[in-house]
Amino acid sequence: MSLDWKASRGGPVTGVIEVPGDKSISHRALMLAAIADGTSTISGFLEGEDTRATARILQQLGVRIDTPGPGQRVVHGVGLHGLKGVDSELDCGNAGTGMRLLAGLLAGQSFPSLLVGDPSLSRRPMGRITTPLSQMGARIETREGGLPPITIHVSNGLQGIDYKCPVASAQVKSATLLAGLYAQGETSVLEPQPTRDYTERMLAAFGYPIQFKPGFARLQGGGNLRATDVSVPSDFSSAAFFLVAATLVPGSDLLVRRVGMNPRRTGLLAALRLMGADISEQGLAEQGGEPVADLRVRYAPLRGISLPAELVPDMIDEFPALFVAAALASGVTRIEGVAELRVKESDRLAVMSKALAALGCKLEETTDGAVIEGGSLHGGRIDSHGDHRIAMSLAIAGQLAAGYVEILDCANVDTSFPGFLDIASASGFSLQVA
């Protein structure tokens, strides 16, 4: 049965909130801890469906993972060559990160694997990872058209490669580097634009020799990872919904505590500031090798912008929220070069364009972007297409629309942001299960 939400005009967004742990870091912490020597602890782990699917898969592969409390994991590493194959399929659920990174990790193993996903994940392109992995010598297959499931045959050994990645994708880079751990010689990845560098940073934190700089990473296969303790900061992409909501709703004044501020993730902050947002960073600190800060957001009227192209990879998950900000700004916002949005959990360009148009926004969808004329929104009934970030973004739209906004198919919010409804309601949203 579909879980639907009903949103209506809410009060100002106020108070002090903390959002759950970073999804990208939680996936990587589990995977690297699993193949490390010794026992690692993870705190601040995201208790989302996506990251729990990765934990379940690693358990299937013979890794003991204890859960002493919510957001905590103790991972008993089995060493680089200690994973064990299973006959059953490995279900990544809705998680593109889980599937793509695990494919890299499993490409060089001496056992076969079958990676499957839910209907949304089963529509997402995997050719982008099977290309470099095959070039390394992996025997890996997808369904026709490069779609999941991914079948990985017993490896005959991998060779390192210098991979010039055609897409700016941290998942492709990470899959290649993880396979590179099992390859002979050196593996390097050169990106068209720098993407999030959590795999690189975390390999270094697990004592694995790696060289990296924005847009480039290189490592040698065959080393060892040493267990370590990982403290996961709050996910900027989850904080993003509240940054946009508090900016848009008059009278808002919100503090979002200890948000991960890796510069490869904070593009939305720059975009919102260009639009006129009032967001200040306080108490900059470090957590688990990552910058974190408290973000204070106060209501500010926004104006449309032409989005600078260099911000795109640093805010790749934030476009549904930016679309809502643009729809409620004064003037026109032009967004280009974001065709990647078409292959996320849904076709986010099409789904957001259709959703905002249904709420009365004047907007033109282009092949790789949109031109959004800001104004006001009215109520309506909209399908989120099971895309967590679309559902949460439309919940923001509902806070400002004149009339009820019904949002269909919201259960997948639990993939990345369990507890969203409670935090949103406590901070002033008018949002309920329909």
Q: Which residues bind ligand S3P (CB under 6 A)?
A: 24, 97, 169-171, 174, 196, 316-317
Strand partners, 39: 76
Distance CA 8, CA 421 (A): 13
Comparing CB distances to ligand S3P, the nearer of 4 and 314 is 314
Comparing CB distances to ligand S3P, the nearer of 420 and 429 is 420
Measured from the CB of residue 55, what is the shortest distance to ligand S3P in angstroms? 15
Comparing CB distances to ligand S3P, the nearer of 265 and 359 is 265
DSSP class of 415: G
Measured from the CB of residue 32, what is the shortest distance to ligand S3P in angstroms? 13
Measured from the CB of residue 317, what is the shortest distance to ligand S3P in angstroms? 5
Measured from the CB of residue 126, what is the shortest distance to ligand S3P in angstroms? 11
Cis peptide before 209 (omega within 30 of 0): no
Distance CA 275, CA 279 (A): 11
DSSP class of 167: S
Q: 242 near 223, Cβ under 8 Å? A: no
Comparing CB distances to ligand S3P, the nearer of 374 and 389 is 389
Distance CA 3, CA 172 (A): 32
Catalytic position from the list 317, 387, 409, 414: 317
Measured from the CB of residue 51, what is the shortest distance to ligand S3P in angstroms? 10
Comparing CB distances to ligand S3P, the nearer of 249 and 335 is 335
What are the Cα distances from residue 276, in Å, to 161, 264, 279, 301, 376? 45, 21, 9, 7, 18
Per-residue H/E/C for 385-404: CCCHHHHHHHHHHHHHCEEE
State the Rg of the chain over Cα. Answer: 21
Measured from the CB of residue 24, what is the shortest distance to ligand S3P in angstroms? 3
317 is catalytic: yes
Element (H, E) at 362: strand 362-366
Distance CA 262, CA 274 (A): 19
Which long-range contacts does 131-135 make (Cβ < 8 Å, 24+ apart)?
132/161, 132/163, 132/165, 132/172, 132/175, 132/176, 132/179, 133/103, 133/104, 133/107, 133/175, 133/176, 133/179, 135/161, 135/163
Measured from the CB of residue 232, what is the shortest distance to ligand S3P in angstroms? 13
Comparing CB distances to ligand S3P, the nearer of 4 and 235 is 235
Measured from the CB of residue 109, what is the shortest distance to ligand S3P in angstroms? 21
Measured from the CB of residue 195, what is the shortest distance to ligand S3P in angstroms? 6
Q: 10 near 397, Cβ under 8 Å? A: no
Comparing CB distances to ligand S3P, the nearer of 218 and 265 is 265
Comparing CB distances to ligand S3P, the nearer of 12 and 48 is 48
Query: To 5 degrees, how large is the angle CA 78–CA 79–CA 82?
Result: 60
SS3 181: coil
Q: In this structure, what token pair is assigned to residue 228?
A: 């370590």
Q: 314 near 271, Cβ under 8 Å? A: no
Comparing CB distances to ligand S3P, the nearer of 54 and 399 is 54
CA dihedral 102, 343, 1, 24 (to 10 degrees): 40
List b or e across 178-207, with b for residues whose CB sees 16 or more CB atoms inside 10 angstroms.
Answer: bbbbbbbeebbbebebbbbbbbbbbbbbbe
Q: Which residues are catalytic?
A: 317
